[in-house]
Amino acid sequence: MKYAMKAALSVRGDFDDLGDVVDEIADELASLQDCNGKLLDFAYGSDATDNAVQFELTVEAGSVDETIETAGSWLRTAIHATGGYTPGWEDSGPRQYAIVYEIDEAGVNVRPLERA
């Protein structure tokens, strides 16, 4: 099955340009995508007015839980690869805040799925 995980995150710390930070994370996601066929696609955006970033990862997974675990792990890995850190991720990361959608064969979001 194909799923999309949408995660909205806050960026804290010293940086000159939020766009540069997000682009670096996207570069790392692209590297992960190159070596993993289950990371099908990703998109991202940011809003410097409140240091918010959004990532959407489209993955091949067997369940919503697998999607959250796998996509969340790839996102966290990309953040760490850029020198970022994720304190409290286990308590307040994607499992709590992400939205997961099942995607049908035409690529259309079918419906938001409930988290267990």
Domain-by-domain residue ranges, the chain? 2-112
Q: Which two tokens stand for residue 33?
A: 């995508």
| C-alpha dist (Å) from residue 89 to 9, 82, 85 | 11, 16, 9
User: Residue for token digits 């049908």?
Assistant: 104
In the chain, at which residue ranges do the beta strands (DSSP E only) sit? 2-10, 39-47, 52-60, 99-103, 109-112
115 pLDDT above the threshold of 90: no
Task: State whether residue 23 is helix, strand or coil.
Answer: helix
pTM for the model: 0.85
Stated as kind and residue range, the H or E segment containing 18 is helix 18-34
First vs last Cα of the chain: how many Å apart? 18
Fold for the domain defined by 2-112: Alpha-Beta Plaits (3.30.70)
Q: Which two tokens stand for residue 34?
A: 């190159």
pLDDT band at 105 (very low <50, low <70, confident <90, very high): confident
pLDDT band at 59 (very low <50, low <70, confident <90, very high): very high
Q: CA angle, corner 56, sides to 13 and 81, nearest 5?
A: 45
